[in-house]
A and B are shown apart, each in its own frame.
Chain A
Amino acid sequence: MSAKNYLNVSYGARSWLLTKDHKRIALLYLASITLFFFLGGAFAVLIRLELLTPQGDLVQAETYNKLFTMHGVIMVFFFLIPSIPAVLGNFLVPMMIGARDMAFPRLNLLSWYVYTIGGILSLVAVVSGGVDTGWTFYTPYSSTYSNTAVMVTAVGIFITGFSSILTGLNFIVTIHKMRAPGLTWFRLPLFIWSNYATSLIMVLGTPVIAITVLLVGIERFFGVGIFDPKLGGDPLLFQHLFWFYSHPAVYIMILPGMGVVSELVTCFSRKRIFGYPFIAFASLAIAVLGFLVWAHHMFVSGMSPYAGMIFSFLSFMVAVPSAVKVFNWTATLYKGSISYDAPMLYAMGFIGLFTLGGLTGLFLATIAVDVHVHDTYFIVAHFHYIMVGGTVMAYLGGIHFWWPKISGRLYPEGWARFAALVVFVGFNLTFFPQFVVGYLGMPRRYHAYPAEFQVLNVMSTAGASILAVGYLLPMVYFVWSMRYGAKASSNPWDATGLEWQTPSPPPTENFEQTPEVTWEAYDYPSKDKEKEPQVA
Chain B
Amino acid sequence: MPDHSPALAHQFDDIEQQHESSSLGMWIFLATEVMFFGGMFLGYAVYRAMYPTAFAEASRHLDIWLGGINTAVLLCSSLTMALAVHAAQLGARRTVAIFLVATIILASVFLGIKAFEYYHKYEEHLIPGAVFEFPGENANHAQLFFSFYFAMTGMHALHMVIGIGVMLIMIALALRGRFSPEYYFPVEMTGLYWHFVDIVWVFLFPLLYLVDRS
Residues on A close to B: CB < 8 A? 99-105, 165, 169-170, 172-173, 176-178, 203-208, 210-212, 215, 218-219, 222-226, 230-234, 237, 241, 514
Bound-complex Cα distance A172 to B11 (A): 16
Select A178's contact among B11, B36, B146, beta carbons within 8 Å: B11
Q: Report if A165-B32 is in contact (Cβ < 8 Å); known contacts: A173-B25, A224-B128, A224-B147.
A: yes
Q: Is the CB of A223 within 8 A of B21?
A: no
B93 at the interface (CB under 8 A from A): no
Q: Is the CB of A210 within 8 A of B43?
A: no
- In whole Å, how far is A378's beta carbon from the nearest beta carbon of chain B? 31
Q: Is the CB of B24 within 8 A of A222?
A: no
Q: CB-defined interface of B41-62 with A at 8 Å, one 1/0 digit per residue?
A: 0110011001100000000000
Q: Is the CB of A103 within 8 A of B25?
A: yes
Q: Is the CB of B129 within 8 A of A232?
A: no
- Note all chain A residues with C-beta closer than 8 A to B42: 241
* Residues B1-40 near A (CB distance < 8 A): 9-13, 17, 20-21, 24-25, 28-29, 31-33, 35-40
B42 and chain A: residue at smallest CB distance: A241
Q: Is the CB of A230 within 8 A of B140?
A: yes
Q: Is the CB of A204 within 8 A of B144?
A: no
B46 and chain A: residue at smallest CB distance: A237
Q: Is the CB of A176 within 8 A of B24?
A: yes
Select B43's contact among A105, A231, A237, beta carbons within 8 Å: A237
- In whole Å, how far is B9's beta carbon from the nearest beta carbon of chain A? 8
Q: Is the CB of B25 within 8 A of A207?
A: no
With contacts A176-B24, A215-B40, A232-B140 known, what are 14 further pairs, Cβ within 8 A? A169-B28, A170-B25, A173-B24, A178-B17, A204-B32, A206-B32, A207-B36, A207-B38, A212-B39, A224-B143, A224-B146, A224-B151, A237-B43, A241-B39
- In whole Å, how far is A197's beta carbon from the nearest beta carbon of chain B? 14
- In whole Å, how far is B59's beta carbon from the nearest beta carbon of chain A? 16
Interface of A is mostly: helix
Interface residue count on the B side (C-beta < 8 Å): 39
The CB with the most chain A CB atoms within 10 A, among B32, B36, B38, B43, is that of B32
* Residues B128-155 near A (CB distance < 8 A): 128-130, 140-141, 143-144, 146-148, 150-151
- Note all chain A residues with C-beta closer than 8 A to B144: 225-226, 231-233
B54 and chain A: residue at smallest CB distance: A232
Q: Report if A203-B11 is in contact (Cβ < 8 Å); known contacts: A224-B147, A231-B140.
A: no
Q: Is the CB of B24 within 8 A of A203?
A: no
Subset of 23 A-B contacts with CB under 8 Å:
A100-B11, A103-B11, A103-B12, A176-B21, A178-B21, A203-B32, A207-B33, A207-B35, A210-B36, A215-B40, A215-B43, A215-B151, A218-B151, A222-B129, A223-B128, A224-B143, A226-B43, A231-B140, A232-B47, A234-B46, A234-B50, A237-B46, A241-B39
Q: Report if A204-B143 is in contact (Cβ < 8 Å); known contacts: A103-B11, A215-B151.
A: no
- In whole Å, how far is B161's beta carbon from the nearest beta carbon of chain A? 16
Q: Which 9 A-B pairs have the closest CB atoms?
A: A211-B39, A207-B36, A224-B128, A101-B11, A207-B35, A231-B140, A224-B147, A103-B21, A177-B21
Bound-complex Cα distance A234 to B21 (A): 41
Select B50's contact among A99, A177, A232, beta carbons within 8 Å: A232
Q: Report if A226-B151 is in contact (Cβ < 8 Å); known contacts: A203-B32, A211-B36, A231-B140.
A: yes
Q: Is the CB of B130 within 8 A of A223?
A: yes
Q: Is the CB of A101 within 8 A of B10?
A: yes
Q: Is the CB of A225 within 8 A of B10?
A: no
- In whole Å, how far is B200's beta carbon from the nearest beta carbon of chain A? 13
Q: Report if A99-B40 is in contact (Cβ < 8 Å); known contacts: A177-B21, A223-B130, A226-B148.
A: no
- Note all chain A residues with C-beta closer than 8 A to B148: 226
Select B129's contact among A203, A223, A230, A237, beta carbons within 8 Å: A223
- Note all chain A residues with C-beta closer than 8 A to B141: 231-232
Bound-complex Cα distance A468 to B114 (A): 56
- Note all chain B residues with C-beta closer than 8 A to A241: 39, 42-43
- Note all chain B residues with C-beta closer than 8 A to A211: 36-40
- In whole Å, how far is B44's beta carbon from the nearest beta carbon of chain A? 10
Q: Is the CB of B50 within 8 A of A207?
A: no
- In whole Å, how far is A225's beta carbon from the nearest beta carbon of chain B? 6
- Note all chain B residues with C-beta closer than 8 A to A232: 47, 50-51, 140-141, 144
Q: Is the CB of B46 within 8 A of A207?
A: no
Q: Is the CB of B39 within 8 A of A215?
A: yes
Bound-complex Cα distance A172 to B27 (A): 11
Q: Report if A169-B25 is in contact (Cβ < 8 Å); known contacts: A203-B31, A204-B35.
A: yes
A230 and chain B: residue at smallest CB distance: B140
Bound-complex Cα distance A504 to B13 (A): 24
Q: Is the CB of A177 within 8 A of B24?
A: yes
Q: Report if A204-B140 is in contact (Cβ < 8 Å); known contacts: A172-B24, A241-B42.
A: no
Bound-complex Cα distance A439 to B113 (A): 60
Bound-complex Cα distance A176 to B25 (A): 10
- Note all chain A residues with C-beta closer than 8 A to B150: 224
Q: Is the CB of A172 within 8 A of B128?
A: no
B146 and chain A: residue at smallest CB distance: A224
- Note all chain B residues with C-beta closer than 8 A to A169: 25, 28-29, 32
- Note all chain B residues with C-beta closer than 8 A to A219: 147
Bound-complex Cα distance A101 to B17 (A): 13
Q: Report if A225-B33 is in contact (Cβ < 8 Å); known contacts: A173-B24, A173-B25.
A: no
B128 and chain A: residue at smallest CB distance: A224
The CB with the most chain B CB atoms within 10 A, among A215, A219, A514, is that of A215
Bound-complex Cα distance A234 to B143 (A): 14
- In whole Å, how far is B36's beta carbon from the nearest beta carbon of chain A? 4
- In whole Å, how far is B188's beta carbon from the nearest beta carbon of chain A? 16
